[in-house]
Amino acid sequence: INFPQSQQKEVAIFDETSLEFPTTKVLCPKCDKEVEAYWALQQTRAADEPPTRFYRCKECNNVWREYS
């Protein structure tokens, strides 16, 4: 479908390389040593439960989660 110029919109696309996540030192279960890892919080359970913290190891790219 060809839309007129006035209806065309620019859409921003994000990939992993364009996003910056905070990092921390944590024990990677796969590397079995303390490494620097990216982390993020997400509410995966009921609102009255604490959020889940996800990690990604910068050395081996292993992803794991930690429940509070």
Active-site residues: which are they? 48-49
**Cα–Cα dist 41/53, whole Å:** 5
Angle 16-61-35 (CA atoms, 0-180°, nearest 5)?
115
- Name every residue whose Cβ is closer than 8 Å to that of residue 68 and which is 6 or more positions away in sequence: 50, 51, 52, 53
